[in-house]
Amino acid sequence: MRDNGSSMLGVYISIPFCRAKCSYCNFASGVFGGDRLERYVERLAEEIHSAQAQAADWQTILPKQVDTIYFGGGTPSLLHPEQLRNILCALREKFSVARDAEITLECAPGQLADALLEALPQLGVNRISFGVQSFVDAEAAAVGRLHTGAQTLTDIARLRTAGIENINVDLLAGLPHQTEASWQVSLDQAIASGVPHVSVYMLEVDEDSRLGREMLTGGQRYHASAVPDDAEIADMYLAACEGLNAAGIAQYEISNFARQGWESRHNEKYWLRQPYLGLGMDAHSMLHGKDGHPRRLAATDDLTIFLEQGARHKSTMVDVDASLEEAWFLGLRRNAGLRLAALEVEFGAEVVAACRPALAACVGAGWVEMVDDTARLTAQGRLFSNEVFERFLGLAPCNIHTPVTKDSHSVGDPFFSVL
């Protein structure tokens, strides 16, 4: 197996606090009081200071050099400037953060306070990801979003005035009451805004969300009956691929599109299986073990436990079989695809040979194309990516399989999880 232990580290920081909970959301986040947020920040600082000692206990390699930091949530823009400063100061005290580090903060439109906006450039935050989901106000309101399309555009302009140009907009296909025509409105607005990065997800409702439960049991409170069907959602996704690519916002991963040079450096770490450290409640990490086997770490998803006892990580070794599976489903997410020669170097020619029948079946189905030595998903394959990935599960010869952790802040599903 290759050794990525010397790679630059990515850091993910979970801020699971929201002003309102979206109806489709099943993340470990919620509406909590300001006193709990202050205690949460204190716990984060403690976790940062103990990270190197924890890594030693887990027998993992924790790189000292950090080149990406990502604040996800929840709604990290609810942090006060001093709280954000304390977290970043703790990181810079214990790690060597690169001068050109990509530092991303997720924001909810309409919830970016003037004081925080003013502090962002001073603290080194240089990338913002907006959870827009829809520029159509009725669609956003139907799932509990608190912003309007006009507020989103105003916030984008405010960021540019502050000197922050690296802006992502999240769009969600499949919201209640959404149509192909209204979806096109959101796409057109995202393109016209001039942002250099757009993420597009297809809604799959999780049964643990309020919307998911209503879809199972019936009811009208969360507009479950107005959710588009799978075929309509797939058409919306294809329209996004076509429209964004035509506008120069090129697809480089199943759900991500960027103008040239504006791809997310942090997310690339997940897809390339490079080391990242998750901090905070429900955060996940992937660090390389001193024995050559990566380890995935998962923190508690209970806020009370985190505030009282800390992260309480659970460590799972990722064996060779699971690493091979991850190599396939993460590598195929990227438009650049997966080089078979690189797989052979890492896992051996015999292991890769065992995967070739599954690969041939995917090529025959029109889901995967081979370009020289590289396997890539086709446009149709991206719609059926879960089916493609399943073909590569359990193919390694030794048949010892460690479950692969897929969390919303790291590996992720190709689409937004919903039922």
For residue 74, is the peptide bond before it cis, meaning its omega torsion is within 30 degrees of 0?
A: yes
- Quote the crossing angle between the two packed helices 349-364 and 340-347, to the nearest 10°: 150
Global pTM exceeds 0.75: yes
Q: Are 337 and 374 in contact (CB under 8 A)?
A: yes
Kindly state whether residue 70 falls inside one of the protein's structural domains.
yes
Give the CA-trace dihedral at 177, 178, 180, 184, to 10 degrees.
Answer: 140
**CATH number of the domain bearing residue 399:** 1.10.10.920
Domain identity same for 194 and 337: no
Which domain covers residue 347, as residue numbers? 319-403
**In this predicted model, which residue has the larger pLDDT, 107 or 394?**
107
- pLDDT at position 7, please? 79
Percentage of the chain beyond pLDDT 70 is: 83
pLDDT, tens digit (0-9, with 9 covering 90-100), for 94-105: 999 999 999 999
- pLDDT at position 408, please? 34
Q: Which tokens hold the place of 259?
A: 């103008």
Q: Which of 174, 264, 157 is nearest to 226 (CA)?
A: 174
Domain identity same for 207 and 326: no
Return the H-helix or E-strand segment holding 107. strand 96-107
Last residue of a domain, one of 271, 297, 332: 271
Q: Mean per-residue pLDDT for 189-194? A: 98
d(CA 139, CA 211): 14
d(CA 170, CA 134): 8
- pLDDT at position 226, please? 65
The SS3 call for residue 187 is helix
**CATH number of the domain bearing residue 189:** 3.80.30.20
**In this predicted model, which residue has the larger pLDDT, 174 or 255?**
255
**In this predicted model, which residue has the larger pLDDT, 19 or 366?**
366
44-48, 143-147, 347-351, 387-391 — which is least confidently predicted? 143-147
